[in-house]
């Protein structure tokens, strides 16, 4: 029955690719929205109950945690692509085996993350900031979060498997449950344990999500993909395919994290120091509201492009790509207007510190104009991955984050001694550059891939 439903889903996607995009992305948007609400509530509690130094502490732990999540999401997206293409080729056995490979890989890398965090976590935090109070807040949060890394990694991979088969409704429900638990526990634990309490609440929710995913996918077989880890057969070709697609995506996330390390270090040198980091960190959490629909659309494009490419429905690739770009640009313009006009009000929900609010407003006054270009970059990069070509994402990210954004910020702030706003300008310039490169690169990759298969 499940296999029949999945074939019906593939046929539905082919018959109406526009509807398929929203069928896949809306459940993901809803699930991420619940998570975003939690994250914003979490930030508000920490900002008002613990203080601005705690917000700066969140800014310091974001890069190392983003490295962990980035590598996991990158490898997961590689598995999503392999599974989607295998389903498009009607090769269920390969799809099942790819799912088993990514789960076992998750067990290995989660242990690696935990030991690396224990050994190098403090050094990574101290590289970005020098305020001992901020470092203390960051350490309390980071080392507590390490207890939940195993459960977080495996849960992300379970979601990647479900995305590969075109099922985003189940992850939405499971993640929504975890986020609800997090929201309930957050104020209680923050009240008693301050910023460490926020991490404890998150770890408990991650364990819950992991247990539910295991029950539904491994014991109840509540999905198309079947996993039998006891009879696992290692396939070097499938493993290489996942890594070839996932590693460039992971490296692009790691590059973004390295950029955040460097950017925080640059902000720490400015006269605003910890307040600049706090403003940047808080603005990041608010702007996640915009990234919810765009990440959802871009992520679902990996599934759709992969399925259309695997099933040889090449004409649908162009159709759904330009539709996704148009839809994403409309959404990004709306969010740009909201952020530009309402950033002061939104920032005041998270802190009473006037300087942090004003610095955050100056950030949004620039970032609001960069949003459409971010949309083009994300969708174009994910579509290339759906075609089985992931390395452009890594190269574009390196150019944007390291060679343009961080280099310009260093030049403006350190070398020319310009005001803080010039750090925001460097972000804007990097977003424009990456959008142009990624869009043209996708058109070239698409033409090459289709020319090869049509010869």
What radius of gyration, in Å, describes the C-alpha atoms of the chain? 21
The kind and range of the H/E element at 55 are helix 52-88
Nearest by Cα to 379 from 326, 342, 341, 325 = 325
The predicted pLDDT at position 1 comes to: 45
Largest Cα–Cα distance of the chain, in whole Å? 66
Calculate mean pLDDT across residues 369-383.
Answer: 95
pTM, entire model? 0.79
Report the Cα 204 to chain-centroid distance in Å: 21
What does the pLDDT average to over 338-365? Answer: 93
pLDDT at residue 286 above 80? Answer: yes
| Per-residue pLDDT tens digits for 33-91 | 766 777 777 788 888 888 888 888 888 888 888 889 889 988 998 898 899 888 888 88
How do residues 256-269 score in pLDDT, each as one tens digit? 888 888 898 899 88
Contact 128, 276 (CB under 8 A): no
1-36 tens-digit pLDDT: 445 555 566 788 888 999 999 988 887 787 777 667
Tell me how far apart the alpha carbons of residues 58 and 55 are, in angstroms, rounded to a whole number.
Answer: 5
pLDDT of residue 8: 61
Q: Which two three-digit tokens encode residue 250?
A: 């992971």
- DSSP-derived 3-state class of residue 369: coil
- The shares of helix, strand and coil residues in the chain, as percent rounded to the nearest 5, are 90, 0, 10
Locate tokens 């603005």: which residue?
283
- Determine the 3-state secondary structure of 9 from DSSP: helix
What is the band of 222 on the pLDDT scale with cuts at 50, 70, 90? low
pLDDT digits (tens, 9 = 90+) for 386-423: 898 888 988 999 999 999 999 999 999 999 999 999 99
Nearest partner of 322 among 81, 80, 18, 16, judged by Cα: 18
Exposed/middle/buried for 81, CB within 10 Å: 0-12, 13-18, 19+?
buried
């Amino acid at each position: 029955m499940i296999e029949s439903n999945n074939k019906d889903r593939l046929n539905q996607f082919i018959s109406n690719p526009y509807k398929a995009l929203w069928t896949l992305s809306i459940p993901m948007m809803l699930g991420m929205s619940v998570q975003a609400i939690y994250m914003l509530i979490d930030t508000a509690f920490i900002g008002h109950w613990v203080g601005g130094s705690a917000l700066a502490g969140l800014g310091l732990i974001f890069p190392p945690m983003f490295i962990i999540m980035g590598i996991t999401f990158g490898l997961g997206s590689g598995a999503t692509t392999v599974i989607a293409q295998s389903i498009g080729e009607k090769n269920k056995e390969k799809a099942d085996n790819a799912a088993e490979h990514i789960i076992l890989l998750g067990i290995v890398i989660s242990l690696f993350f935990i030991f690396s965090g224990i050994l190098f976590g403090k050094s990574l935090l101290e590289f970005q900031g020098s305020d001992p109070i901020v470092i203390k807040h960051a350490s309390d949060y980071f080392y507590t979060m390490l207890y939940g890394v195993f459960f977080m990694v495996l849960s992300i991979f379970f979601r990647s498997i479900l995305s590969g088969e075109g099922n985003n409704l189940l992850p939405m429900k499971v993640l929504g449950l975890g986020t609800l638990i997090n929201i309930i526990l957050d104020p209680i634990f923050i009240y008693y344990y301050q910023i460490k309490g926020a991490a404890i609440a998150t770890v408990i929710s991650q364990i819950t999500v992991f247990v539910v995913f295991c029950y539904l996918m491994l014991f109840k077989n509540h999905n198309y993909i079947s996993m039998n880890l006891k009879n696992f057969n290692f396939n070097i070709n499938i493993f290489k395919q996942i890594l070839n697609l996932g590693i460039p995506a992971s490296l692009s996330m790691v590059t973004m994290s390295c950029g955040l390390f460097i950017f925080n270090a640059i902000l720490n040198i400015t006269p605003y120091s910890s307040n600049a980091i706090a403003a940047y960190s808080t603005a990041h959490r608010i702007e996640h509201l915009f990234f919810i629909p765009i990440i959802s659309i871009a992520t679902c494009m990996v599934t759709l492009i992969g399925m259309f490419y695997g099933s040889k429905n090449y004409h649908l690739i162009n159709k759904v790509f330009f539709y996704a770009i148009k839809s994403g640009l409309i959404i990004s313009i709306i969010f740009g207007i909201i952020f530009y006009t309402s950033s002061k009000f939104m920032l005041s929900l998270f802190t009473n510190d006037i300087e942090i609010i004003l610095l955050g407003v100056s950030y949004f006054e620039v970032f609001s104009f960069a949003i459409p270009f971010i949309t083009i970059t994300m969708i174009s990069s994910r579509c290339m991955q759906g075609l089985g070509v992931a390395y452009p994402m890594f190269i574009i990210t390196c150019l944007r984050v390291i060679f343009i954004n961080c280099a310009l910020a260093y030049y403006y702030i350190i070398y020319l001694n310009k005001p803080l706003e010039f750090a925001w300008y460097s972000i804007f310039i990097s977003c424009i550059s990456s959008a142009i490169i990624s869009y043209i690169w996708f058109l070239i990759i698409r033409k090459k891939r289709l020319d090869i298969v049509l010869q």
